[in-house]
Structure 1
Amino acid sequence: MEEQFQILFNKMKSEMQKQTAELKESITNTIMVKMDEKLQPIMEENKDLKIKIENLEKEIEYLKSEKKKNNIIIFGLKEDEESTSGLAEKAKKIFNKDLNVKIEEYEINKIYRIGKKRSDGKPRPILLSFVNIWKKNEVLKARKNLKDMYITEDYSKKVLEKRKMLKTQLQEERKKGNFAYLKYDKLIVRENNKSNDKRKREISSSPHDHTQAKKQVHTPSQKNRRNAFDVMRSRSNSLSSYTADNNY
């Protein structure tokens, strides 16, 4: 009797545990569905906000690049001027002398040293903004003629970080013999087809091959000449024999 009661008790206990588990699962699923229903609009709104933020960041970056598009940064120019006008005159003289580019005062929008004056006497870089972008491009094309100083474009911090990351890849491409350079925040690579063609020619042909080719070219022509001579001689012999037969 006790054993039967124990078996019945165990069955009831097992059934109650099963129902409890099912009830928990049902309640959990119901709660999750309700939470999803509540969170779905928030998630959609968050997605839209992310897209708007990305678009705003692109617009800000574009505005920054537009603001800087007429600017150049000059490094290595001795810092001994006493005023902004003196700095402008010094820059104009260097452009005219070293770059053969004449700069008028009205073509300069603004010019100033970047940062605080250094205690070690090292010259601070100079930001020069032109009124027209074509004058900036003219200076950039001639900048390779500079000796003790150099000029770069005025990039935003984001672009400078990308260019810094691409410098290693740029050096690797140049070591391969490819023509590579940085354009704004992108790496442009052009393969050196001349070296590849030269390598292919060296592999496909050799002096031994040329000797064989020459032999193959001359041999048939010599055989043809001998064969033609033999044909003419046989024809002359047959013609003479034919004439002798007719004389008889």
Structure 2
Amino acid sequence: MEGQFQLLFDKMKIEMQKQTAELSNAIMEKIEEKLKPIVEENKNLKIKVGNLEKKLDYLQREKKSNNIIIHGILEEEKSTLELFEKLKKVFRNELGISMEEYDVKKISRIGKSIKGDKPRPVLLGLNSAWKRTEILKKKKNFKNIYVTEDYSKETIEKRKALQPKLAEERKKGNIAYIKYDKLVVKENTNANDKRKREDSNSPQADIQPKKQQTLMASKNNRVNAFDFMRRSNSLSTIITEGKQ
């Protein structure tokens, strides 16, 4: 009797587990069916956000494309016009570049003014890309001034983070530089060829021992010839004395 009850209980337990599994699967299918459009919409939103970020980055780059930042200009001007005249003079005297009012789109100091602190950088926006390129090409001619490009804070942080990798690649002998916020690495084939030539045996190293061997051999031959001549003279003397 107890065995029958146990058997019935086991059957009921198995049936309940089966029904629970079927119910769970049905619930999960309904949940997945409900979530499917939400997941798809979320995926599309991520794509749209990514595209918007790319467009925003492009617009920021485009906005700053003709800008340069000039460091080291003493902050003595009392107006924007005086600042422009000062820059105009610096460009003419140190770079040999003429700067007129129609070349400039905007000019201003960056940051808050603090007494006793070093002069604030000057943001110079130009109307033409070729004028900006001309300044950047000749910027090494500045004496106490240096020029940088106008990057966003995010780009500046990325460039800073790439500096260790840049130094590492250059230490390897590769040609490496940072282009905007990307590290560009090119293998220096000239350095590799030079290294291979240094590692391989030099042809002169092989020729030199042969020359030395030839000289030694010729020297030995001369010595042997002298010995032979001495021996020959000695034999002649002995034979002559024997005949006498």
Q: Which residue of 1 aligns with 2:166?
A: 170
Same amino acid, percent of matched pairs: 52
Tell me how far apart the structure 2 counterparts of residues 152 and 81 of structure 1 sit (CA, whole Å).
Answer: 21
Q: Which residue of 1 aligns with 2:136?
A: 140
Mapping for residues 59-74 of structure 1, pairs under 5 Å: 59-74=55-70
- 50-59 or 171-180: which moved more? 171-180
Among candidates 195, 198, 215, match of residue 199 of structure 1: 195
Tell me how far apart the structure 1 counterparts of residues 124 and 206 of structure 2 sit (CA, whole Å).
Answer: 62
- 64-73 or 169-178: which moved more? 169-178
Following TM superposition, by how much is the alpha carbon of 1:212 offset from its aligned partner in structure 2, in angstroms?
Answer: 6.2
User: Are residue 183 (structure 1) and residue 186 (structure 2) matched?
Assistant: no
User: Are residue 82 (structure 1) and residue 78 (structure 2) matched?
Assistant: yes
Following TM superposition, by how much is the alpha carbon of 1:214 offset from its aligned partner in structure 2, in angstroms?
Answer: 7.2
Cα 1:59–1:147 shift into 2, 3 Å: same
User: Are residue 56 (structure 1) and residue 52 (structure 2) matched?
Assistant: yes
Q: Which residue of 1 aligns with 2:207?
A: 210
User: Are residue 45 (structure 1) and residue 15 (structure 2) matched?
Assistant: no
Runs of 4+ in 1 over 6 A off after TM superposition: 212-215
- Could you give the per-residue CA deviations for residues 138-189 of structure 1, whole angstroms, max 9, x where no partner exists? 0000011122221111112232222112111111112222222111112122
Following TM superposition, by how much is the alpha carbon of 1:41 offset from its aligned partner in structure 2, in angstroms?
Answer: 0.9
The residue type equivalent to 1:33 in the other structure is E
In the alignment of these two chains, the number of paired residues is 212
Q: Which residue of 2 aligns with 1:30?
A: 26
Following TM superposition, by how much is the alpha carbon of 1:29 offset from its aligned partner in structure 2, in angstroms?
Answer: 0.3
Q: Which residue of 2 aligns with 1:155?
A: 151
The residue type equivalent to 1:50 in the other structure is K
Q: Which residue of 2 aligns with 1:13?
A: 9
Following TM superposition, by how much is the alpha carbon of 1:121 offset from its aligned partner in structure 2, in angstroms?
Answer: 2.1
TM-score where L is the length of structure 2:
0.81
The residue type equivalent to 2:25 in the other structure is N
Cα 1:16–1:120 shift into 2, 3 Å: farther
- Residue ranges of structure 2 left out of the alignment (5+ in a row): 213-244
